[in-house]
Amino acid sequence: MPNPRNRFPVTVHIFLLRQKHVLLLRRHNTGFADGLFSVVAGHIDGNESVRQAARREAAEEVGIELREDDLHFAGVMHRREGQERIDFFFSTHIWHGEPSNLEPDKCSELRWVPIDRLPEDTVPYIQEAVRCYLKAEFFMEYGWENADWD
Q: Which residues contact 41 (CB under 8 A, 6 or more apart)?
A: 11, 12, 13, 14, 57
Residue 150: pLDDT band (50, 70, 90) is very low
Comparing CA positions, the residue from 6, 15, 24, 29 lying closest to residue 73 is: 15
Does the pLDDT of residue 83 top 90, yes or no? Answer: no
Report whether 64 contacts 54 (CB < 8 A).
Answer: no
* pLDDT digit string, tens, across residues 3-61: 777 788 999 999 999 999 999 999 998 888 889 999 999 999 989 999 999 999 999 99
What distance in Å separates the CA atoms of residue 14 and residue 59, rounded to the nearest whole number?
12
What distance in Å separates the CA atoms of residue 8 and residue 77, rounded to the nearest whole number?
13
What pLDDT is recorded for position 53?
97
Structural domains in the chain, sorted by start: 10-142 (3.90.79.10)
Report whether 44 contacts 50 (CB < 8 A).
Answer: yes
What pLDDT is recorded for position 41?
97
Predicted model pTM: 0.92
Residue 149: pLDDT band (50, 70, 90) is very low
Residue 1: pLDDT band (50, 70, 90) is low
Average confidence (pLDDT) over 109-132 = 97
Average confidence (pLDDT) over 78-91 = 93
Q: Which residues contact 131 (CB under 8 A, 6 or more apart)?
A: none
* pLDDT digit string, tens, across residues 99-113: 999 999 999 999 999
Average confidence (pLDDT) over 77-84 = 90
